[in-house]
Amino acid sequence: MKDTRIAGDGLVLLGCGKMGSAMLAGWLGRGLPPTSVWVRDPNPSDWLQAQGVNLNTDLPASPAIVLVAVKPQMMADALPELAAMGNGETLFVSVAAGTPISFFEQTLGAQTPVVRAMPNTPAAISQGITAIVGNAVAGDRSLDEAEALLSAVGQVVRLSEEAQIDAVTGVSGSGPAYVFHMMETMADAGEAEGLPRDLALQLAIATVAGAGALALQSDDDPAQLRVNVTSPNGTTQAALEVLMDQTDGFPALMRRAVAAAANRGRELANG
């Protein structure tokens, strides 16, 4: 990571669970010096303790970036001690679900540059996708810095307004769980058709993973890829007539699922 401002002024990571550890591993792997990273975590893992970062020590007065990765319910206790860093040059990047930008502005000051991010769990293997949006104080420079940090664990997209975060939660934030459940149900269906459970699960996981990799690499969109593997009056068409039913199939079910996740995100943000 070649950002000299981060290396010079330091990066603070508040919370180092699964997501924080994935990001830290990505930064260090890109060349960020461990000595320029300060980590606050009440229960540091053995892996974290071996990384050579400044762990649970006094923080720099004005770090370049503070990345907040604590659980939302811990935010009220963890953030106020960093209030002295607010209203300055320090950029706060939050990956905490359900915590709006306004909370950071109220706690740290209205002139604090804040970028809110919504990653997802494939970030643990650097295959995630993260959506970001900044407050009025955070200009292009802050968004560029946040994107550089978060690209260590996958793709980064920018939103035009914070209200879109809840839709992102419904699609990509919670989305990996939908895919894992589809793997489960595909395996269940294969078992019901006579396959051994282990084989059915292996087929389901490899099929979903392979289809996803193909979609990422192909110039065709998913709709065209679906057409490409659907022979008229064949087995795939017979299955898709069930799955694409507008009343009981994937279209209606997925709309309800994504809406439920998005609405829950709004409820969490509103307390």
98 is in an annotated binding site: no
Question: CB neighbours of 257 closer than 8 A, spacing ≥ 6?
Answer: 170, 178
Dihedral of CA atoms 117, 121, 125, 129 in degrees, nearest 10, equals -40
Sequence-ordered strand ranges (E) for 230-269: none
69 is in an annotated binding site: yes
3-state secondary structure of 106: helix
71 is in an annotated binding site: yes
3-state secondary structure of 264: helix
Q: Which of these, 62, 8, 70, lies nearest to 39 by C-alpha position?
A: 70
CB 38 within 8 A of CB 54: yes
234 is in an annotated binding site: no
128 is in an annotated binding site: no
d(CA 78, CA 74) in angstroms, rounded, equals: 6
CB 15 within 8 A of CB 72: no
Bridge partners (DSSP) of residue 38 are 12, 54
177 is in an annotated binding site: no
Bridge partners (DSSP) of residue 132 are 117, 158
d(CA 106, CA 109) in angstroms, rounded, equals: 6
Distances (CA, A) of 178 to 39, 173, 181, 219, 250: 32, 10, 5, 25, 11
Query: What does DSSP say about strands 91-94 and 65-68: parallel, antiparallel, or unpaired?
Result: parallel
16 is in an annotated binding site: yes
Residue written as token pair 């810095």: 145
225 is in an annotated binding site: no
Which residue ranges are tagged as binding site?
14-19, 69-72
Which residue ranges are tagged as binding site for NADP(+)?
14-19, 69-72
